[in-house]
């Protein structure tokens, strides 16, 4: 049985697209059954719907607290019988209670070689620090930001003259490569928290 996956996005969902494309393969151990965005006009929603996947908008601004917003997402994920949650450019901090509910079943992709450069502006910070390599990490989500155990990492060189955009584009290619691989490992039970 394929594992049922819900993806949370806030924007174009390029990593979501990579997961949806991977899940089309016959032998892929997961199926994408739901996409939720906290932003009503996120372009990733149309891509999901165009691929026959239920896509919902749950706008965080319409809820009085983070906990109540997270609970609404939890209700939607459970209604779709989701077993694994994949964050793909989801730009909201999650409440500890939500993270605990999905303990060991929620993964995220981050555009740095964790534990380096948690949080935002990872490429700018790597360039300014004179790093020789940058990259991306798929990790299990824990209550601390970008702190859960890594499942897979990929590295790319930081080239002379790199801008945030050129480095980000090179890292994004690797994100699209390793996120489907990491989800496969989790769905197959080969990567566990």
Question: pLDDT tens digits, residue range 98-136?
Answer: 999 999 999 999 999 999 999 999 999 999 999 999 999
Chain-centroid distance of CA 32 in Å reads: 13
Of 60, 103, 110, 176, the active-site residue reads 110
CA–CA separation, 65 and 119 (whole Å):
22
The token pair that represents 34 in the structure block: 């739901």
Q: Where are the domains of the chain?
A: 3-187
pTM listed for this prediction: 0.96
Q: What is the pLDDT of residues 59-108, one digit of tens each?
A: 999 999 999 999 999 999 999 999 999 999 999 999 999 999 999 999 99
- The dotted CATH code for 3-187 is 3.40.50.170
Q: Are strands 150-157 and 84-87 parallel, antiparallel or unpaired?
A: unpaired
139 assigned to active site = no
Share of the chain above pLDDT 90, in %: 99
Share of the chain above pLDDT 70, in %: 100
Cβ atoms of 123 and 130 closer than 8 Å = no
What is the model's pLDDT at position 182?
Answer: 98
Residue 45 pLDDT class (50, 70, 90 cuts): very high
Q: Are strands 150-157 and 133-140 parallel, antiparallel or unpaired?
A: antiparallel
């Amino acid at each position: 049985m394929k594992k049922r996956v819900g993806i949370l996005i806030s924007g174009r969902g390029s990593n979501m697209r990579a997961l949806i494309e991977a899940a089309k393969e016959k032998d892929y151990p997961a199926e994408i059954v739901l996409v939720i965005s906290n932003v009503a006009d996120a372009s990733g929603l149309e891509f999901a719907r165009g691929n026959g996947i239920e896509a919902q908008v749950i706008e965080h601004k319409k809820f009085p607290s983070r906990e109540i917003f997270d609970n609404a997402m939890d209700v939607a994920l459970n209604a779709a019988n989701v077993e694994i949650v994949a964050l793909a450019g989801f730009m909201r901090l999650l409440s500890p209670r939500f993270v605990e509910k999905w303990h060991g079943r929620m993964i995220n992709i981050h555009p740095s070689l964790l534990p380096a450069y948690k949080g935002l502006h990872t490429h700018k910070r790597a360039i300014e620090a004179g790093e020789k390599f940058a990259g991306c990490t798929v990790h299990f989500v824990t209550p601390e930001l970008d702190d859960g155990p890594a499942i897979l990492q990929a590295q790319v060189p930081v080239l002379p003259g790199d801008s945030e955009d050129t480095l980000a584009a090179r890292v994004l290619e690797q994100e699209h490569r390793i996120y489907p691989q990491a989800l496969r490992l989790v769905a197959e039970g080969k990567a566990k928290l």
